[in-house]
A and B are shown apart, each in its own frame.
Chain A
Amino acid sequence: MTSPAKPPVITPYRRLDPKTQPPLLYEPYRASVERAPRKPLILLPQTLSEITGPVYGHGDIQATDNDLTRQHAGEPQGQRILVTGRVLDDAGRPVPHTLIEIWQANAAGRYIHKADRNAAPLDPNFSGTGRTLTDAQGHYRFVTIQPGAYPWGNHPNAWRPRHIHFSLFGTAFATRLVTQMYFQGDPLIPFDPLLNAIPEEKARERLICKFDPNLTEPDWALAYRFDVILRGREATPFEGQ
């Protein structure tokens, strides 16, 4: 027998409001009918396993990893843009030194992926992938090009709005987030089932970056702001619960 350990002090991460997150099953998103779990999730009080997580990627960032326009011999086609913002927790505190990874289609709406069958050209000067770490105040910045919209098979004449995929780790297994960032004013937004799966309009708007004239750089690039909020911790720990 192993002797009982001292109970760890667990300060759990606050739970998410379901109105602000997409459900697992959303029938207008056809693939969710094939793949979404149907049985209820089992509510798990967070343990040491969930409130820890990988501090990851710090040794693997190269100089051009946050500039998707400088990863090849020439510049990619498309409108050059800056995407910048902060990663914060749900009390507004910065999440410093955390990995952000992005991936996106090129200006014509094509991913450099063998499974992408969209009849649009690849761009030899664009891979569409970037990564960076937030700074001590949670700031990040990418230089890239405006991705194109592209057709997909979800329903007749379905098109994805222009978007950039974001992946973030935060401080724990519990804070991991994969999401997509959309662009203000995109006419395809009201028709997109992935975005419409999120019940609250206000929550959907959190995935739409905002044009920022002050950060836009003269004669060079348009700037968009996109802040990401990760789960934060409860105010008080549970001990020996």
Chain B
Amino acid sequence: MDYTPTPSQTVGPFFMIGFAGPLLISHIAAPGVPGERVKLVCTVFAGENQPVNDALIEIWQANAEGKYNHSGDPQEKPVDPSFLGFGRQGTDDLGVCVFHTIKPGRVPANDGSLQAPHLVVGVFTRGVLQRLPTRIYFAGDPANDSDPVLALVPAARRVTLLAQPVPGEPETWRFDVHLTGARETVFFDI
């Protein structure tokens, strides 16, 4: 029997009919969830600056203690059952989607050091035949300097993985995804 994994295909332009309703999640963290509040404004661009109005963004993250709500996380830390840590949204006509969440804690790296606070991200869009995995880190966090995943990225491109605080808008961070072009976002082969 052949159990080679099934090939990926593009999500296409019409996925919102399948994902509308309760399975779209903008509020990753409900109001009572402990942690530093983050409003994350994501914008997807193609070419140099064309907004992509039919992308899907999925986010997976740990809680404020750096613990995932998943049986595969062996850390002896509490899990809040009301915080799954998953969100997904389609982009609007301006290429934008918004998530309301908390800044995750530091998750252990494979060598026992700690990763910097980050969200793992999957970008799906018409025109791309696979999911594009990337990460969102928080600009200015001192832990970024010792993060083992950021260290894999050429220094000049690390900025593409940093959400930037929006001046004058408390708790608000901006993260731009450039599918291609001069500012192409770093995507990972996981």
- A contacts, CB < 8 Å to B: 2, 4-10, 15-17, 20-24, 26, 29, 31-32, 34-39, 41-57, 60, 88-92, 101-103, 111-113, 115-116, 127-129, 131, 165, 167, 171-174, 176-180, 194-195, 197-198, 202-204, 206-207, 228-232, 238, 240-241
Q: How distant is the Cα of A37 from the Cα of B19 in the complex, in angstroms? A: 25
Do residues A90 and B190 form an inter-chain contact, with CB atoms below 8 A? no
Q: How far is the CB of B111 from chain A (nearest CB, A)?
A: 6
Does residue B179 face the partner (Cβ distance < 8 Å to A)?
Answer: yes
Do residues B110 and A8 form an inter-chain contact, with CB atoms below 8 A? yes
Q: How distant is the Cα of A204 from the Cα of B52 in the complex, in angstroms? A: 28
What are 7 A-B pairs with beta-carbon distances under 8 A? A44-B190, A54-B69, A92-B3, A179-B7, A206-B6, A230-B5, A238-B110
Do residues B5 and A20 form an inter-chain contact, with CB atoms below 8 A? yes
Contact of A88 among B3, B122, B131, B149 (CB under 8 A): B3
Q: Assuming A42-B188, A50-B120, A50-B190, is B11 touching A173 (CB within 8 A)?
A: no
Does residue B115 face the partner (Cβ distance < 8 Å to A)?
Answer: yes
Q: Assuming A49-B60, A51-B72, A115-B13, is B120 touching A32 (CB within 8 A)?
A: no
Q: Assuming A34-B46, A178-B124, is B115 touching A47 (CB within 8 A)?
A: yes
Does residue B176 face the partner (Cβ distance < 8 Å to A)?
Answer: no
By a CB distance below 8 angstroms, the chain B residues around A116 are 13-14
**The 6 nearest A-B residue pairs measured at CB:** A103-B18, A31-B127, A35-B127, A54-B86, A52-B70, A7-B112
By a CB distance below 8 angstroms, the chain B residues around A52 are 60, 68, 70, 72-73
Q: How far is the CB of A5 from chain B (nearest CB, A)?
A: 4
Q: How distant is the Cα of A101 from the Cα of B14 in the complex, in angstroms? A: 13
Do residues B58 and A176 form an inter-chain contact, with CB atoms below 8 A? yes
Contact of B62 among A36, A49, A178, A180 (CB under 8 A): A49
Do residues B110 and A179 form an inter-chain contact, with CB atoms below 8 A? no
Q: How far is the CB of A62 from chain B (nearest CB, A)?
A: 10
Q: How distant is the Cα of A155 from the Cα of B39 in the complex, in angstroms? A: 41
Q: How far is the CB of B147 from chain A (nearest CB, A)?
A: 11
Contact of A101 among B23, B129, B130 (CB under 8 A): B23
Do residues B149 and A47 form an inter-chain contact, with CB atoms below 8 A? yes
Q: Considering the complex, give the chain B residue whose CB is closest to the CB of A4.
A: B112
Does residue B189 face the partner (Cβ distance < 8 Å to A)?
Answer: yes
By a CB distance below 8 angstroms, the chain A residues around B131 are 176, 178
Does residue B128 face the partner (Cβ distance < 8 Å to A)?
Answer: yes
By a CB distance below 8 angstroms, the chain B residues around A32 are 127-129
Q: How distant is the Cα of A55 from the Cα of B84 in the complex, in angstroms? A: 8
Q: How far is the CB of B22 from chain A (nearest CB, A)?
A: 4
Does residue B171 face the partner (Cβ distance < 8 Å to A)?
Answer: no
Q: How far is the CB of B6 from chain A (nearest CB, A)?
A: 5
Q: How distant is the Cα of A6 from the Cα of B18 in the complex, in angstroms? A: 41
Q: Assuming A16-B5, A21-B130, A42-B186, is B18 touching A57 (CB within 8 A)?
A: no
Do residues B127 and A34 form an inter-chain contact, with CB atoms below 8 A? yes
Do residues B7 and A207 form an inter-chain contact, with CB atoms below 8 A? yes
Q: Assuming A128-B17, A174-B190, is B7 touching A206 (CB within 8 A)?
A: yes
Does residue B16 face the partner (Cβ distance < 8 Å to A)?
Answer: yes
